[in-house]
Amino acid sequence: MTTYTEIKQNKEVLAYLKKADDNLKVLGYTEHSAAHTTLVAERAAQILEVLGYSAHEMELVKIAGFMHDIGNAVNRKNHAEYGSLLADAILRGTDLPLEDRVMVVSAISHHDESTGGARDAVSAALIIADKTDVRRSRVRPQERSSFDIHDRVNYAVTGNRLEIDPEKRKLRLEIEVDEEICTMYEYFDIFLGRMLMCRAAAEMLNAKFSLVVNGSKVL
């Protein structure tokens, strides 16, 4: 069966990811390259592993995680839906079983907060891994005077840790934010919807999600 390792080396997937990130760079978005999708893939698999899901589900979420942003090569708007269609076309050329291909495609199509939401364990883990990837290194090199609110928020994050407690089935995201770079209002203006999406996704995993910012629990 086609593996995550093979998908990471797939020339078509890599070409779409590069074009997707190039497009978003022009539009002023933070980094959405293979570095981001690799982190998402492996964090999503870790979530499922710690919470007791199967190795098969872990492999599927890694494939979905690595491919989840390829739709940005078509358009930022509705990129989740475009990405699912591109992923379906690419995976049809592999030996991935039909049921697995459908699971991956569905997870990709539901990962965006504007139209999506967790529908199963794979999509839930993908959502949490994607929305919790907030870090300074995602901001593209530029003068700080040119930062927009997305840049400031990501650049202000000096620490990011996702803790998973399998016994209590709790996921806890701890964020350190430099408030001299962005205010808490700005942070929540960008990320509150995404964090609420993570909370709903955690419920799909029969778990609870909490957010701690600068030592204080806020969600």
Nearest one of 180, 119, 182, 188 to 147, comparing CA atoms: 182
pLDDT band at 41 (very low <50, low <70, confident <90, very high): very high
Mean pLDDT, residues 19-44:
96
For 116-127, how does the pLDDT look when each residue is reduced to its tens digit (9 = 90+)?
999 999 999 999
Topology given in CATH for the domain delimited by 4-217: Hypothetical protein af1432 (1.10.3210)
Mean pLDDT, residues 189-197:
94
Task: Give the Cα separation of 179 and 215 in Å (integer).
Answer: 13
pLDDT band at 211 (very low <50, low <70, confident <90, very high): very high
Residue 19 has a pLDDT of: 98
Residues in the chain: 219
Residue 143 has a pLDDT of: 85
Beta-ladder partners of 217: 212
SS3 55: helix
Residue 152 has a pLDDT of: 92
- Checking if the pLDDT of 137 tops 90, the result is yes
Mean pLDDT of the chain: 96
pLDDT band at 145 (very low <50, low <70, confident <90, very high): confident
Mean pLDDT, residues 212-218:
95
Residue 53 has a pLDDT of: 98
- Checking if the pLDDT of 3 tops 90, the result is yes
Residue 196 has a pLDDT of: 96
- Checking if the pLDDT of 144 tops 90, the result is no
Residue 78 has a pLDDT of: 97
Reading the block at residue 90, the tokens are: 């690419």
- Checking if the pLDDT of 88 tops 90, the result is yes
For 148-175, how does the pLDDT look when each residue is reduced to its tens digit (9 = 90+)?
888 999 999 999 999 999 999 999 999 9
CA torsion through residues 204, 205, 206, 208, sign: negative
CA torsion through residues 9, 11, 17, 23, sign: positive
Mean pLDDT, residues 191-201:
96
Residue with tokens 């419920």: 203
Name, in order, each residue with C-beta under 8 angstroms of 22's C-beta and a sequence gap of 6 or more: none
Mean pLDDT, residues 166-188:
95
